[in-house]
Structure 1
Amino acid sequence: MISIIRVAQGKNSTLSHLYIGGLFACYLLEDSIREEKIPGATCIPEGEYRLRLNPWAGMNARYSVRYPKVHRGMVEITGIPDFSLVFIHIGNYHTDTRGCPLTGAYWRLVDGDYQVLHSAAAYKFVYPQLVEAIERGNDRVVVGGR
């Protein structure tokens, strides 16, 4: 099972944990939780969604160059009402998310907002695990609170 558990709220950010197979895999940084979506500034709503590899979206070209030995497509979270092209990817600040979860090896709180750091290292750690899970048919992610 793959799950995203929200653990803390900043002014414009949400700190989450990513679990794969019941084990903590990395921190995630998301936008704020909002009742009404603000494009590019709202995290995905709680629910159960599907994961897939997306080899055609714009980010794919950059990640193919950056991670040529392992990249097989962006890990996309699909089936989210009113959201599209939501990828698990690298970044450090809530301004990098645009609705996507960002990977991090650790976190810090600066001026009331969470940041994740060593994002690329966390991504390199979780990406192969997510690809393997998707290929085995474990392509569901549950997003929720504590």
Structure 2
Amino acid sequence: MNSLVLIRTHFEEKQTLGQLFVLNDQADELFSCFTLELPWKDNEQFVSCIPAGRYKVVPRNSEKYGDHLHILGVPDRSLILIHEANFYFELLGCICIGRKQLDINGDSLKDVTSSVATKNKLLSFITQPTEISIS
């Protein structure tokens, strides 16, 4: 079973940047991409990224995001998703992923690119419940 590892690399006032890795049972890297989250604000709903830790992840489908991943068991939080988005201001506590980190909109903050294609590639590796480790 493949698993996910998210390593947060930059904590900024408005956002948190990182890298997400898909690992197989032998801890070989199968896929990686960049992440964008809200900043750490004590796990406050809708304005903070989630706490570091280990969580269950399940594939999910919704009308708004189509196929995506749902992170379960986050203390005091619900509906934490890994879905497409490009900018921190599109997030309410979820994680968005992309191929690159670039300043797309000229606000001097890094955004993520190709989020839909990156999400679809990630979903090809995560087809059943698994775990994510966030550090």
TM bin, normalised by shorter chain, reads 0.7 to 0.9
Instruction: Work out whether 1:40 is the aligned partner of 2:34.
Output: no
SS at match of 2:89: helix
Higher relative CO (Cα under 8 Å, sequence separation at least 6) belongs to 1
Closer/same/farther in 2, CA of residues 113 and 82 from structure 1, 3 Å limit: farther
Instruction: Work out whether 1:26 is the aligned partner of 2:33.
Output: yes
**Structure 2 unaligned residues grouped into runs of 5+:** none
Contact 2:65 2:84 in 1 (8 A): no
CA distance in 2, matches of 1:115, 1:98: 15
Q: Which residue of 2 aligns with 1:103?
A: 97
| 1:17 Cα deviation from its structure 2 partner | 0.5
| 1:63 Cα deviation from its structure 2 partner | 4.0
**Structure 1 unaligned residues grouped into runs of 5+:** 65-70
Q: Which residue of 1 aligns with 2:13?
A: 11
Contact 1:52 1:76 in 2 (8 A): yes
| 1:112 Cα deviation from its structure 2 partner | 4.9
Deviations 1:74-109 (A, max 9, x none): 310000001100111000111112110001110124
Q: Percent identity?
A: 25
Instruction: Work out whether 1:116 is the aligned partner of 2:112.
Output: yes
Name the TM-score, length of structure 1 as normaliser.
0.77
> What is the number of residues matched between the two proteins?
126
Contact 1:14 1:33 in 2 (8 A): yes
Which has the larger helix fraction?
A: 1
Contact 1:11 1:112 in 2 (8 A): no
Name the TM-score, length of structure 2 as normaliser.
0.83
Q: Which residue of 2 aligns with 1:68?
A: none
- Any residues of structure 2 matched to 1:42-57 within 5 Å, and which? 42-55=48-61
Which has the larger strand fraction?
A: 2
